[in-house]
Amino acid sequence: MNRVRDLTRPGWAVETVDAIGRVFRHLAERLRSSVDAAELAPLRTLAWLPAKGKRDRLYRPSELYSTYSYVLFSSQALFLDLALNIEETRNLLVELGVPLAPSTEQVVQHLLFCAKGSLSIVRFTDI
């Protein structure tokens, strides 16, 4: 917890994202083996995660979505910007409150957004 606070102090740098990724993967590994999920509670409300395409600030877990279903609703949400293996980090994402899947409304709104702009869904998500 202290390491996360150190990394996210005011004035954090873009290079911090790599360190946050290492911490995230370490926590995921510890959750699989020894750490009590209750110990993660403070991280649920702390703004400590990077968002894809945003470098103005860090975000709380509940403000971001996992990139697992990114292609389905990429125009409708902010996504976690960490290179993660979903199978290895799924439990941690759930414990922190990072949504793994979109709502039906988000998928529909994304399709409408792409249709309105004559955008290919696949091409838009590559941006």
What pLDDT, on a 0 to 100 scale, did the predictor assign at position 79?
95
What pLDDT, on a 0 to 100 scale, did the predictor assign at position 122?
65
Scanning the structure block, which residue is given the tokens 């976690």? 80
Distance CA 8, CA 48 (A): 6
C-alpha 104: how far from chain center? 19
What pLDDT, on a 0 to 100 scale, did the predictor assign at position 46?
93
CB neighbours of residue 101 within 10 Å: 12
pLDDT (tens digit, 0 to 9) for every residue of the chain, 127 residues total? Answer: 778 877 777 766 777 888 899 999 999 998 887 777 788 899 999 999 999 998 888 999 999 999 888 888 999 999 999 988 888 899 999 999 999 999 999 999 999 999 998 887 765 554 4
Distance CA 104, CA 75 (A): 14
Scanning the structure block, which residue is given the tokens 């910007």? 81
What pLDDT, on a 0 to 100 scale, did the predictor assign at position 127?
45
Contact indicator for 8, 60 with CB cutoff of 8 Å: no
- The per-residue pLDDT for range 31-62, each reduced to its tens digit, is 887 777 788 899 999 999 999 998 888 999 99
Q: Is the dihedral of CA 59, 65, 67, 71 positive or negative?
A: negative
**16-33 and 86-96 helices, crossing angle to 10°:** 90
What pLDDT, on a 0 to 100 scale, did the predictor assign at position 124?
53
The secondary element (H helix, E strand) that includes residue 56 is strand 54-59
- For residues 62, 42, 50, 2, the Cα torsion angle rounded to the nearest 10 degrees is 180
